[in-house]
Amino acid sequence: MYALYCALDIARNDSRAAWSDRDGNIVREKKIMMTRDALIETFGGEAGRTLLGCEATGKAFWIHDVLSPLGVELRIAPPNRLKVIYETCYKTDKIDARKMASLLAKDLFPTVWVPPAHLRDLREMTRLRAQMVRARSQWACRHHALLSRWGVNSPNHGGEVVKDRDLVDALGAGTRIAGREILRFVGDLNERIRLLDRRARMEIRKFPDFERQIHLLMTIPGVGILTATVLVLEIGRIDRFPSHKHFAHYCRLTPGVDSTAGRRKDLHLAKDSRADLGCLMVEAAWTARRVDPYFAGQYQRRVALGIKPRRAIVPVARSLSHAIYRVWKSQTPYQELFQLN
């Protein structure tokens, strides 16, 4: 039992802090500069006496890294769940800090898993790679659009750029200059992505457990080295999910439900989850459909019922997430777990 409960509403330069007693009454408020020295000065002597809480935004994990060696407990909450709990028509930093402090005192403060610092450090490379790949696709599509505006039909698809010199030379001088700059930029992105992949593999080899989990997940159809690496770094520990349904929901693969008066209606995919992991799982499901008869059969049955391909692939991705959960949780390769010949 703590004597005080303090909530931080984090901003870029300073944060609003509010302290609450055990009954949820605000007893103190203060603005705190977001520097290491200011945090240590304010909370360094609060270990075992004050419980801290904040949203999982901005510098939340950095604050955790600063205060946890001092023995200060910090709970970090998902912003979407906090929004549902205390959303009102009045919202300021002061009000948010007060409400979070009251939730802490009443033991109603939702929390997220705090990944270790070395895991968050490795994530930065895979997240940067994803951004670079999106940028490459955008600029490749821009090159296609540039040629299309001048009546040149693109023979390539899938985000690649047109490199046929005869097609490019048939354009005007200004269009050729623009096209060459795009080609140069896309080529530079390709080289940087390859270099980042090599460096990421070198860094992951320093952690044998991560590398072992990656190779284990790669036994699953549709899961390549990139998908396995992102899953291992983003999920961290599979045992924090009680079941495969919770894991599928976290990956944004389960629909919302509207159930009332004995009627049930499936809604769009639940949005209180990770959209990036949902896209990753869908891409892996497309590959699994091509290489594995089981996933191909799931997809074909739904297409035969008239379901559009982009909707039919979602249940396949959900089944794939079930396989990933079971393989990861049991630490058993896919072929042995499902007794495939």
| pLDDT range class, residue 85, cuts 50, 70, 90 | low
Average pLDDT over the chain, rounded to an integer: 88
| pLDDT at residue 270 tops 80 | no
Q: What does the pLDDT read at residue 155? A: 57
Greater pLDDT, 154 or 253: 253
Percent of residues, the chain, with pLDDT higher than 70: 89
| pLDDT at residue 234 tops 90 | yes
For the segment 55-61, the average pLDDT, to the nearest whole number, is 90
Q: What does the pLDDT read at residue 156? A: 54
C-alpha span between 285 and 234 (Å, rounded): 18
For the segment 215-231, the average pLDDT, to the nearest whole number, is 96
| pLDDT at residue 289 tops 90 | yes
For the segment 56-82, the average pLDDT, to the nearest whole number, is 90
Backbone φ and ψ for 171, nearest 5 degrees, come out as -90, 170
| pLDDT range class, residue 318, cuts 50, 70, 90 | very high
| pLDDT at residue 214 tops 80 | yes
| pLDDT at residue 166 tops 60 | no
Among the residue ranges 2-16, 23-37, 58-72, 169-183, the one predicted with the least confidence is 169-183
Helices 309-330, 208-217: axis angle to 10 degrees equals 130
Q: How far is CA 266 from CA 137, 167, 257, 279, 306, in A?
A: 33, 49, 5, 20, 18
| Nearest partner of 82 among 115, 60, 62, 49, judged by Cα | 60
For the segment 96-109, the average pLDDT, to the nearest whole number, is 90
Backbone φ and ψ for 19, nearest 5 degrees, come out as -105, 135
What pTM was estimated for this model as a whole? 0.86
Q: What does the pLDDT read at residue 341? A: 46
| pLDDT at residue 340 tops 80 | no
| pLDDT at residue 295 tops 70 | yes
| pLDDT range class, residue 146, cuts 50, 70, 90 | confident
In one letter, which amino acid is 89?
Answer: C
| Residue 176: Cβ within 10 Å count | 13
Among the residue ranges 5-14, 200-209, 309-318, the one predicted with the least confidence is 5-14
Among the residue ranges 50-64, 159-173, 247-261, 266-280, the one predicted with the least confidence is 159-173
Greater pLDDT, 207 or 257: 207
Burial of 315 per CB tally in 10 Å (0-12, 13-18, 19+): middle
For the segment 230-237, the average pLDDT, to the nearest whole number, is 95
Question: Is-contact 49 72, C-beta < 8 A?
Answer: no
| Nearest partner of 279 among 254, 251, 298, 303, judged by Cα | 251
| 119-134: pLDDT as tens digits | 999 999 999 999 999 9
